[in-house]
Structure 1
Amino acid sequence: MGLMFYGGRSDTIFIEDRALAHLKVVIATKLRRNESFTLSWRHPDDSGRSTIWLHPAVPLRFVFDDPEPPELSTEWITAMANSANSSGGISLIPEDVDPGPQIPAQH
């Protein structure tokens, strides 16, 4: 299980290593462009969901259990990048799911 630490908070975000490796590529691309955005995911125990606001000036660290990086799926990266470019921000979607056209959530 991978970990993501954001900002000075001690809260840990748990994300499976393979998913975190793909997410890291998309996040790094957005932050390198100086873009701010949201990241949303479902909690592993189905107890809810979370969303955070990511900003280039806030420290971010990824920690992986596996010492070797996985082979990356360009399709999965593309699907997450497409969601990152929507008004809803990045949605951590399962690798085997085609998200189809994204419709922003209404609030």
Structure 2
Amino acid sequence: MSLEARNPGKGLVAMITSRYTPRHRAMLKAIADGRGQLLCGRRPNLSVDGLWCDFTATGDLVDNDLVRPAWQAPPGVAAPAVLTGSGTLVLQAMSAP
């Protein structure tokens, strides 16, 4: 019996989360905890606790629809960052033992 047959969905979760690093997980966790702000614009920038995060990792999270601003803010204006449904699922999968 294959691993997939014994653990349906486990392979899919591994495939989805394999592109993300512990840095991505930490950023998602901080957003889930309400500590993230997105500076809106063409390429949003994320700050956590007032410190700027990795711009490439931020792009990964935004481009893959894992995080978004809490409301549509004009360019140059910060809004609280929130997880999307997909972001919540990815964080849960990455946090599982």
Q: Which has the higher strand share?
A: 1
Q: Which bin holds the TM-score, normalised by the shorter protein?
A: under 0.3
Specify which structure has the higher proportion of helix: 2
